[in-house]
Amino acid sequence: MNPVVKKYEGLIAAPFTPLDSKMNLNIEMIPVYYHFLEKNGVIGAFINGTTGEGPSLTQKEKQINAEQWAKCMKSGGKVRIINLVGGTSYKECIENAIFSREIGISAIAVIGPYFFRPCNEEALAEYVAIIGESVPDMPVYYYHFPAISGVNIKMTSFLQRISGILPNFSGIKFTHEDLMDFIGCLNFNGGIYDILWGRDECMLSALATGCKGFVGSTYNYAAPLYHSLIETFRKGNIEKARNLQFKAVEMISLLDKYGGIATGKAFMKYVGLDCGLFRLPVKNLTPEMYEAFSKDVEKLNIKEFLSGV
């Protein structure tokens, strides 16, 4: 692993991509968004991912988006940027990886190709390596999200392969409930890799394994809740930590109630940062649904735990 890589300790938000009323990029909002995350104690941003509608953006749009986030960091911001470069075409991934290096992005990430999926850990490692080799001086992460990608390969086996062929491989965004595999990755080769937990609703479980870095969509609008959960756990107050985790579960349950991922942008609007709507085929909340959603948020009594503009 590249010795200059710093492990992330704290919350990494997966930002929503701001869109205007015509469903085009609203890049003017990105500096506001960046400082919003910084103000709320978020240490990193995982852009162009699932929450950021990366697969729904064009190649050019993903680059414009990355460039705007990088500008915020390079102008003195403290939030580091991980750019998900793709995807199903390793050629496009390489193009985005090189672009990321040129604009000063902190690290890149690669998701398992969800069309023509790799059949085993060897094929996956080969795919990630051919992209990572194009930017040998950059940290490279793998985005493990089998529920979306369909690439359900044991990450401990993947690490065995990738560790031998990609020196700048740095870690995994682990969005899966397999704690046995996760613990194996955390402790692989003495814990040299940065293994980031990607399931907000199960943060407490990950904390118990010794995990220190977390990537998630709900950190965009409820960072104080998770800061509180981490601090409470570290102080040894497990009962209170359980209660805080349950608050997170109640909050996240509203995503299911109101149709899924688009509810996240409704949460952003609720806390005062309107990022627009999701592109098709994602279904957005109607005005009537948003009104009902707002009332449900109020019933949760979590105002103190929501991020502030």
Tens digits of residue pLDDT in 224-248: 999 999 999 999 999 999 999 999 9
Q: How close are the terminal C-alpha atoms of the chain, in Å? A: 37
Annotated catalytic residue 143: yes
5 pLDDT more than 70: no
pLDDT tens column, 9-30: 999 999 999 999 999 999 999 9
Q: Give the model confidence (pLDDT) of 258-295 as tens digits.
A: 999 999 999 999 999 999 999 999 999 999 999 999 99
Determine which one of 173, 247, 265, 269 is catalytic. 173
How far apart CA 309 and CA 307 sit, in angstroms, is: 7
Cα distances (Å, whole numbers) of residue 44 to 47, 141, 149, 250:
9, 14, 23, 25
Mean per-residue pLDDT for 172-197? Answer: 97
Q: Which two tokens stand for residue 256?
A: 């299911």
Measured between alpha carbons, how far is residue 38 from residues 135, 173, 269 in Å? 27, 21, 18
Residue with tokens 């990755």: 185
The answer to the question of residue 262 being in a domain is: no
Q: What is the mean pLDDT of the chain?
A: 97
With 0.85 as the threshold, say if the pTM is over it: yes
- Do the beta carbons of residue 255 and residue 263 sit within 8 Å? yes
305 in a structural domain = no
Question: What is the DSSP code string of 49-65?
Answer: STTTTGGGS-HHHHHHH
Nearest to 194 by CA among 148, 154, 159, 218: 159
| Domain coverage including residue 51 | 10-237
Point out the catalytic residue in the list 143, 219, 226, 258.
143
**Domain total in the chain:** 1
Closest CA to 1 of 185, 125, 156, 168: 168
Q: Is 55 contained in some domain? A: yes
In a domain, 43, yes or no: yes
φ, ψ at 269 (rounded to 5°): -60, -40
* Residue 268, domain member (yes or no): no
Q: What is the CATH number of the domain that holds 101?
A: 3.20.20.70
Stretch 77-104: mean pLDDT, rounded?
Answer: 97
In this prediction, residue 6 has a pLDDT band, given cuts at 50, 70 and 90, of confident
- For residue 208, CA distances in Å to 101, 113, 195, 204 come to 35, 31, 14, 6
pLDDT in tens, 34-73: 999 999 999 999 999 999 999 999 999 999 999 999 999 9
Per-residue pLDDT at 4 exceeds 80? no
Per-residue pLDDT at 117 exceeds 90: yes
Does residue 75 have a pLDDT over 70? yes
**CA dihedral angle for residue 9, residue 300, residue 50, residue 116, rounded to 10 degrees:** 110
- What would the pLDDT profile of 122-160 be if each residue is shown by its tens digit? 999 999 999 999 999 999 999 999 999 999 999 999 999
Per-residue H/E/C for 189-249: HHCCCEEEECCHHHHHHHHHHCCCEEEECCCCCCHHHHHHHHHHHHCCCHHHHHHHHHHHH
pLDDT band at 309 (very low <50, low <70, confident <90, very high): confident
Query: Is 212 inside a domain boundary?
Result: yes
Tell me the C-alpha distance between 302 and 62, whole Å: 34
Structure tokens given for 137:
């001086």
The per-residue pLDDT for 2 is 47
Confidence of residue 1 (pLDDT cuts 50, 70, 90): very low
| Residue 81 near residue 69, CB atoms below 8 Å | yes
Say how far apart CA 17 and CA 28 lie, in whole Å.
11
pLDDT of the residue at 76? 96
CA distance 278 to 214: 24
Annotated catalytic, 8?
no
Cα of 135 vs its chain's centroid, Å? 21
Tell whether 176 is covered by a domain: yes
Position 17 in a domain: yes
The distance from CA 224 to its chain's CA centroid, rounded to whole angstroms, is 17
- 3 has pLDDT over 70: no
| Residue (of 14, 30, 46) closest to 275 by Cα position | 30
